[in-house]
Structure 1
């Protein structure tokens, strides 16, 4: 059986209500199109080849619509959960009332004890997030992407309320741990949904919406902290600790979680891929039609549902009677899955989290102090850093990841981040006195201090261009549908485990290795990352289903995958043309005649089998 036959066979099973009579008519009307007399493919101008946005010219313009963008926006906003916590806790550990309430300046504690207390508070969400990612192994597939998101919002709200009412470190730990259970699931739900619903030309952009929302959250957290310290006094009129100063900073989390939950009731559309995986073919077709704003019998919908269902069918037998154990087993028995998990998705998390970016985000106010920024200005600089990361994350999303590609974005980001952190490390080595309280630095040291401050900002910019752009995207697009959400959950366990380890380790690293030693370590990790990035496959513009073919190549050929393994999916045989006439019966829609247009015999077979199904259904109704 040919690939085309299998694809359309899959389409038939996925969309039994497509009008076969209309399909027959359209095919017969256009089956005499001769590729030798058909108009040649339109040549792309210099301007269209060198562009600043993703190339969507081959796709029907209807598929890029408000329904799709609102769904992407909502799931993308989910990324703010982690960012809000990082920005919030980064400011709170420098907030006078928070410090006083939870004993972060307790003179009876040693330097190591205070560092341990601080790292416990900051990293508790990351610890909980590991548990959240484990829960997501089952919840995302069991509940579906939309219901899982609503479930997470409820957990998030509970965790934040516990924190707001905290008066002891123990209760604060509990609230942050529960919030972590929610945050860990967001990183499994959001990227998987984005990859499944976004058309291939903007899949990178969609995932970067999620990654960029992390920095929206960080920016909001930084500004709320800065505003609370600026306008709310540290002490009450009676001289006690004014807990409102830090409690009000947590309210932004309640607003965000409530907003996402409410909007999910109205504007979210369930993933058609998940619905097909669960055997809900008619609902999957309806949801895909809604997301693409095309009729169910449109060639683009037929091709996409065919590609999805072909993968579902090929995996169905292999995944029959599967459970968590069989899922885990694949990571050890399948060389392809193991390589993807360990050397691509896993390495992304390991190298990315130990590249120093997380340290810059969470301990920003302290890193600014090391270059001479003092007092409330530390929080102000942290807020500016939040703006810089937020803007650069979305610039990367719209103008880099789907235009230059994943690998070029990584090269630019890693190289730039490495240079910035190297400069910062050298500054700490040469001008250590800048960190001392009351120190006054002048002349070349002052200019170098300004450069070190800029290096922190620029390192954040390059991080958002490089590792941040791919740390959620890669795991969500390289695994097959049958284990995608499970694999992404495992990847996010690595993500939060490394983030937790990094958050816990940095205060002690800066004591044991000196401040500059920790940053030389980060520079070394980034140097290794540049070599690692060279061997990655470039997946820009490929359909999710065609990615599986890429990993039939040996590891050392993956970087040439676009040359060695062209995208043979049905969706890439459908081309939108400015010429009004198409060869599919739909205006502007051209089926590539050189890429195995389905034969008339198969169309007849498809019609016959669909007719039989319709008769069977009619007989059942009569019974």
Structure 2
């Protein structure tokens, strides 16, 4: 069967849907849950700005540290929140199954608020700052697990990518807040304690907004079904679609979810966390899903973009932008580029051109821009600002390297930043989705912590340019892996992923893109012992039933 046109099929799928499903209530729920993404971005932008402020360094007694000593201190201040996020992700594993998506999210929003208050009033106590940033990180970690699960579970299939990536857009909006609030406050309160306290405390406002908004949203219909609350689940689903409960569209979607849950419950009934872990790693298709996403999160974090964001004021200084205020402005513009890239990508690209193509394009942009910045820093290593300014070619290269950092932000936004969030919540069956997404996000934050913590030392040890060469090399390896192993999930059902993972990872590229049958298949189908086009030696599926897409 020939490959379908993803753009054509997506447009047709949207046109075929009842117009009522694209309604205010769906978009309100999306906005409320997505806005929690501001937490991660706001922290990145805020902490990147305040750790270079003279007032902050004096207040916390680190002003007289040498450059090497402060590189170590700064690394801990910045990265300790990411360590807390690891524990926040793991805490979701049990609570989300007991309390549900909504109540767990509200609980950890309170934890996040407590951490922000502690940071704001740490009053120059470095130990208190470390402790409260760790607590804040616990709350942030939860906000990177639950929204993507919830949004995937309420989204109509035809715009699943658009809905899910609004969370990613809000992460970048948070970076904009973090940098520009610091820029504006620095202009008016430079040299005072408000210069670092006020932008830190302002992180409470988004938390109150999303906390109140989520309070009024319904629980996920998929979670309600898993708790045998069928009547309530159908009512919530009908409300999200703005259609009667007996409407064929609602009934077909509801029955698709119900069939999948019943199949999973029959397969492993009454399983605990340990049982679900064993299921993940003993069922071939599930293990391959986990390994794929584990590697994606590993490459995504060690491609270096988050570390570049967290230390962007310093990096812009390396590239020739002088002055604290000018660097804050440059990093604020950098944040706007990232936010605009994700927003445009989520609306006009992701559901039309697919996850796989977008990711490979983004990685390619990262490789080119990282290599250019690394080459510039290597060529100007040891040269003074005056020497660089005296050379027309080096001055032009300095400006080009700044442009390259902005282009790198675009590549990251359409690639490794957005795609792992989206695909992690798409590839796992409902029964093991929460557990696996929580564990993977814990690894995500562990990798983030490692890269963030290592960045100051990496820049110092490799004379700055080596760090960018290292990140470019990681991106080169990752694009090869993606080419062979990552399937296209756009247009496929949440319940129809098994067939993709019945083959070895290095052969996935042969069936990476969905055919017309994959996109249009409805009902329950029997899976053949061998897929069309499988090489000799490919193992047959251990899962005999695949549930069709929900519409």
Q: Do Structure 1 and Structure 2 share a fold, with TM-score over 0.5?
A: yes
For the pair 1:250 / 2:200, whether they are aligned, the reply is yes
Query: In 2 relative to 1, CA 305–223 (structure 1 residues): closer, same or farther, beyond 3 Å?
Result: same
8 Å Cα contact 2:54/2:63 also seen in 1 = no
Distance 1:554 1:233, change over 3 A: closer
Runs of 4 or more above 6 Å deviation? none
Shift of 1:105: 2.6
Distance 1:103 1:438 in 2: 34
Give runs of aligned pairs for residues 507-522 of structure 1, distance below 5 A: 507-522=456-471
Q: Can you give the 5+ residue segments of structure 1 that lack an aligned partner in the other structure?
A: 1-43, 235-241, 574-595, 597-623
1:219–1:435 distance in 2 versus 1, CA, 3 Å: farther
Q: Does the alignment pair 1:136 with 2:92? A: yes
Contact 2:81/2:134 (8 A) holds in 1: yes
Q: Distance in 1 between matches of 2:464 and 2:320?
A: 14
Counterpart secondary structure, 2:417: helix
Looking at structure 1, the residues matched to 489 and 500 of structure 2 have their Cα atoms a distance apart, in angstroms, of 9
Measured after TM superposition, the shift of residue 435 of structure 1 is: 6.6
Instruction: Give the secondary-structure state (helix, strand or coil) at the position aligned to 1:468.
Output: coil
Q: Describe the superposition over 1:47-91 as per-residue Cα deviations: whole angstroms up to 9, x where unpaired.
A: x8499x795112111111111111111111111110010000011
1:149-192 deviation per Cα after TM superposition (whole angstroms, max 9, x unaligned): 21121111100000011121011011100001101111110111
Alignment partner of 2:316 out of 341, 359, 368: 368
Is the 2:388–2:395 contact (alpha carbons within 8 Å) kept by the matching residues of 1? no
Of 161, 176, 193 in structure 1, the residue corresponding to residue 150 of structure 2 is 193
Distance 1:126 1:63 in 2: 37
Deviation by residue 1:268-287 (Cα, 9 ceiling, x = unmatched): 12211111011110000000
Unaligned runs of 5+ in 2: 526-547
Q: Does 1:154 align with 2:107?
A: no
Q: Secondary structure at the match of 1:538?
A: coil
Kindly name which structure, 1 or 2, has the bigger radius of gyration based on alpha carbons.
Answer: 1
Residue by residue over 1:484-542, the C-alpha shift from the partner in whole angstroms, topping out at 9 and shown as x without a partner, is 01100011011100000001101111111221111101110111111111121111111
8 Å contact from structure 1 (residues 307, 570) kept in 2 = no
1:108-127 equivalent positions in 2, closer than 5 A: 109-127=65-83
1:346 is matched with which residue? 294
**Native 8 Å contact 2:367 2:472 kept in 1:** yes
Checking the alignment, whether the CA contact within 8 Å between 1:212 and 1:393 is kept in structure 2 is yes
Q: Within 5 Å, give how 1:59-458 maps onto structure 2.
A: 59-106=17-64, 109-167=65-123, 168-234=125-191, 242-266=192-216, 268-342=217-291, 344-375=292-323, 376-433=325-382, 440-458=389-407
1:517-528 paired onto structure 2 within 5 Å: 517-528=466-477
d(CA) in 2 for partners of 1:512 and 1:336? 42
Kept in 2: contact 1:355–1:522 (CA 8 A):
yes
Aligned to 2:199, the other structure's residue is in SS state: helix
Q: What TM-score, normalized to structure 1?
A: 0.80
State the partner residue of 2:480: 531
CA contact (8 A) 1:389 1:464 kept: yes
Separation of aligned partners in 2, 1:63 and 1:174: 45
Contact 1:370-1:434 at 8 Å conserved across structures: no
Task: Provide the C-alpha distance between the structure 1 equivalents of 2:342 and 2:300, rounded to a whole number of angstroms.
Answer: 15
State the distance in 2 between where 1:401 and 1:416 align. Answer: 17
Q: Give the secondary-structure state (helix, strand or coil) at the position aligned to 2:14.
A: coil
- The offset of 1:441, in angstroms, is 4.4
In structure 1, the residue matched to 2:543 is: none
Q: How does 1:434-513 map to 2 (within 5 A)?
A: 440-513=389-462
- Cα distance, 1:371 vs. partner? 1.0
Give the number of aligned pairs.
Answer: 519
Q: Aligned-residue CA RMSD in angstroms? A: 2.4
8 Å CA contact 1:413–1:462 kept in 2: the answer is yes
Whole-angstrom distance in 2 between the partners of 1:397 and 1:141: 29
**Partner in structure 1 of residue 518 of structure 2:** 566
Q: Distance in 2 between matches of 1:433 and 1:498?
A: 31
